Structure 1
Amino acid sequence: MRILFVVPYPAGKAPSQRFRFEQYLDILTQAGHSYRLAPFLSDATWAILYKPGRAGAKALGISGGFLRRMLLLFSVPAYDYIFIHREASPIGPPIFEWIIAKVLGKRIIYDFDDAIWIPNTSEANKIVAGIKWHQKAESICRWAYKISCGNAYLQDYARQFNAAATVNPTTIDTEHLHNRIRNQRAAGRLVIGWTGTHSTLKYLEQVVPIVAELETRYDFEFRVISNQPPVVPLKSLRFQPWRKETEIEDLAGLHVGLMPLEDDPWAKGKCAFKALQYMALGIPALVSPVGMNTEVVQPGVNGYICNTPEDWKQALEALMLDPTLRSRLGEAARTTVVERYSVCSNQKNFLQLFS
């Protein structure tokens, strides 16, 4: 089969693409398929998209993306499947998807790992929020041959419009990438950490008071790995700029990983990705009881689910003081990912999308 991946971002840049399908590309080739990636954004536009200023260059880059999409339509007939990750274009109605499905009659596999039908405006995207056309998700679901959903919450949404919606979880490559286990008994300063992009930094606010209280009694580092530094009043804070080249080494330096979330419709669509990254490296995850987090984390087995500030405090303190507990939970966490949320365990499920 020939597969065309119609995607928002250049290859190897965005976590959603890397962990949703890019890490399966070699597996597709081994299964006898061929593929092509067609990003909307160029590398140059991606490099400036979330930085302040340069509005003219960004507008030119977006215009270039639409031009590439129009030219791409001439190539679409040569492919058996059109795999669309999130959307064919970041703004406007789903014109390209309609042409692909209704005019060209191609089989669309529609993939998403967030509640993309819900507006989620931030400082980075507020200018284009009004023209993003969030309602396009419903239409694309109706036109799709199959829908690949990151979790059951997203699947429930998609099944309102199309019965061919399946759960294809965001997975971790435990053999070639997240392939080490944190030694919880090694000497050195304790590190509590969080990783994510600028758009999710807001979720840290709920744990800042707990960390501030604990740092008055214990010596530890609170490491934030992101593309932007947080503005939080913590003496223990250390900002680690995210870099693809060192992401595993940076994450493996944590003893405990945090994933706080707000209980709202947008967060319910999250696929527990932060928790899965920590857990794959043998790091216990402390998570809010939102969405897929409660499916992945088993309290007292491979991490803790924290409902209240007191829950966060007790779980953090217990893990800070007991390396044996961290080791036990970390080993179970790694096993959970390998058995249920790894590329290897999900390989058959992913390949069935193309059948």
Structure 2
Amino acid sequence: MSFSVYFISGCKAGTTFEYRILQKQEQLAAHGIHSVARQDLTGGERLLLREVAAHDILYLYRIAYSPLLESLIAQARALGIPVIFGTDDLVFEPEEVRHVDPVRAMGDEEAALYYEGVWRYRRTLLASDAVITSTGYLADRARTLGKPAFVHRNGLSGWMITEADKRMQQSPARPADGKIIIGYGSGTATHRKDLAEAAEGLARVLARHPHVELHIVGALHPGDDPALPDELRPFAGRIRHRPAVPWRDWLAVQRTFDINLAPLEAGNPFCDAKSEIKYTEAAIVGVPTVASRTAAFEFAIRDGETGFLAGNTDEWAAKLEALVTDASLRRRMGEAARADVLARYAPETMGQQLVETLSAIRALRRPQIHPASNPAPDETPLILNWIFPEPMPGSGGHTDIIRMMNLLAGFGHRVNAYIVPRQRLWDKSDLEVRQFVHRHFAPLNGGVFKWNEGPMV
């Protein structure tokens, strides 16, 4: 089944636009799906309404609600076009803004504008038919607001793979004195506390190995106060700052690292929402990563095989020590990580997942697309949720359940299946659970979710 997607982005930052819009366009194109992307809402309402009407899906990436956006959503609804809210950050929960350090430093007026933006993002989410996020954590937060939510992870662009291949054919410039470089991309000012998670373990390694250096790239400067954790100050002479580079040069910088550091502040919901790109970007150039034990990194990294996960000081120290003292381990783990991300995060692979996700979202709206299937005007559609244990493939009883759910969906009701994992589905995502139902029973014109004892949509 072919369809077209109209992307509108409210975030022009190069990396986010690449990961959440351009990558999706590339992934869809790999499977013959046409799409158009806009970086803003300029051009006039009449033009935008025409463009919305010319596509089958309206995908809104981090766009704050406005009267113009309200018109576009209304147009989509009138035409039976599903509206998707996309996000890769926790930008829709006003009560969590207190965890964003830069907001605490803002004046009252500036902070009020920030909060207003978060409320407007939330309103866009609530006005949408479904949500697509980059992590399971974000999807769970969206579901608590009553929205069907799907995870589509940040992947690799074709140009990233090409650039990495080129870098892998070149030997990285190594220090003549045999130094080992632990690299850390510090990101934006919102991540100033992340390095503290690894600081004590990193300090132990620096104390034992005088030939190890820490290279910090980006906004976090060792000279800033209080940017550098106290544990690392005795080693300031072996901590180098490298300014941020254009994103397309980042892989070349990472190739100079021996070990990639990816800590995230524990207990901070904004950090819990972050994706695994610090692993995938390093992996594509064969650099092993030690990362915090967040859900995204646990999904991406096979601990001890394609990277290391650390959840406390002893783990940070032990796993950094293992990589610092064993060059062959660094090489093997870097090679395994590269093979892993090429297999799981390439455009063709991610594209198939995206096509299935978008098809599932279109199915959620299908009863509204065909007026003949809608309830009579004086009837109110119901939201019907089924909770049942993981079925045996081909089970007759569960086949009847799926048929009954599809029948009710055909009358305009919204149906959701929550499947309690028992054996095969323990470590599967919602999309993989949907694929299981589709493969062994029938396509379901409703939501399919793995039951985690959380709230239902």
Whether TM-score is above 0.5 comes out as yes
Contact 1:20–1:171 under 8 Å retained in 2: no
Distance across 2 between alignment mates of 1:289 and 1:27? 29
1:100 aligns with 2:79: no
Which residue in the other structure is 2:116 paired with? 131
Equivalent position to 1:171, from 155, 170, 191: 155
1:226 aligns with 2:246: no
Letter of the 2:180 partner, please give it: L
Which residue in the other structure is 2:319 paired with? 315
Equivalent position to 2:181, from 191, 194, 205: 191
Distance across 2 between alignment mates of 1:160 and 1:215? 44
Which residue in the other structure is 1:113 paired with? 88
Which residue in the other structure is 1:51 paired with? none
Distance across 2 between alignment mates of 1:32 and 1:302? 32
Equivalent position to 1:246, from 226, 237, 249: 249
Of 333-342 and 318-327, more deviation after overlay is shown by 333-342
Letter of the 2:337 partner, please give it: A
| CA spacing shift, 1:131–1:255, aligned 2, 3 Å | same
Matched residues, percent identical?
Answer: 20
Contact 2:202–2:316 under 8 Å retained in 1: no
Distance across 2 between alignment mates of 1:238 and 1:309? 22
Distance across 1 between alignment mates of 2:26 and 2:61? 18
Distance across 1 between alignment mates of 2:193 and 2:44? 34
User: What value does the CA root-mean-square deviation take over the aligned residues?
Assistant: 3.0
Distance across 1 between alignment mates of 2:300 and 2:73? 35
Q: Structure 2 matches for 1:6-17, cutoff 5 A? A: 6-10=8-12, 13-17=13-17
Deviation, 1:218, is 1.9
Contact 2:129–2:147 under 8 Å retained in 1: no
Structure 2: gaps (5+ residues): 360-457
Distance across 2 between alignment mates of 1:238 and 1:202? 18
Distance across 2 between alignment mates of 1:182 and 1:262? 35
Distance across 1 between alignment mates of 2:202 and 2:170? 23
Aligned length: 323
Distance across 2 between alignment mates of 1:163 and 1:239? 43
Q: Based on CA coordinates, which of the two structures has the bigger radius of gyration?
A: 2
Deviation, 1:74, is 4.1
Letter of the 1:192 partner, please give it: I
Deviations 1:121-165 (A, max 9, x none): 34379423232234743x434433442221222222223445642
Give SS of 2:161's match: coil
| CA spacing shift, 1:184–1:110, aligned 2, 3 Å | same
Distance across 2 between alignment mates of 1:102 and 1:26? 28
Distance across 1 between alignment mates of 2:237 and 2:172? 25
Which residue in the other structure is 2:54 paired with? 78
Distance across 1 between alignment mates of 2:44 and 2:206? 52
Which residue in the other structure is 2:420 paired with? none
1:267 aligns with 2:267: no
Letter of the 1:77 partner, please give it: A
Which residue in the other structure is 2:385 paired with? none
| CA spacing shift, 1:30–1:309, aligned 2, 3 Å | closer
1:152 aligns with 2:155: no
Which residue in the other structure is 2:22 paired with? 22
| CA spacing shift, 1:145–1:178, aligned 2, 3 Å | farther
Which residue in the other structure is 2:302 paired with? 298
| CA spacing shift, 1:352–1:302, aligned 2, 3 Å | same
Deviation, 1:322, is 0.7
| CA spacing shift, 1:131–1:237, aligned 2, 3 Å | same
Contact 2:30–2:348 under 8 Å retained in 1: no
Distance across 1 between alignment mates of 2:119 and 2:184? 29
Which residue in the other structure is 2:284 paired with? 280
Contact 1:210–1:309 under 8 Å retained in 2: yes
Deviation, 1:201, is 3.2
| CA spacing shift, 1:31–1:215, aligned 2, 3 Å | closer
Contact 1:227–1:242 under 8 Å retained in 2: no
Distance across 1 between alignment mates of 2:354 and 2:171? 33
Letter of the 1:199 partner, please give it: T
Q: Which has the higher helix share?
A: 2
Deviation, 1:326, is 0.7
Letter of the 2:9 partner, please give it: V
Distance across 1 between alignment mates of 2:336 and 2:131? 31
Distance across 2 between alignment mates of 1:323 and 1:185? 15
| CA spacing shift, 1:140–1:182, aligned 2, 3 Å | farther
Give SS of 1:242's match: coil
| CA spacing shift, 1:207–1:14, aligned 2, 3 Å | same
Distance across 1 between alignment mates of 2:47 and 2:180? 51
Distance across 1 between alignment mates of 2:292 and 2:197? 10
Which residue in the other structure is 1:53 paired with? none
Give SS of 2:328's match: helix
Deviations 1:231-266 (A, max 9, x none): 323222222222224111001111111111122222
1:348 aligns with 2:334: no
| CA spacing shift, 1:312–1:156, aligned 2, 3 Å | same
Contact 1:94–1:136 under 8 Å retained in 2: no
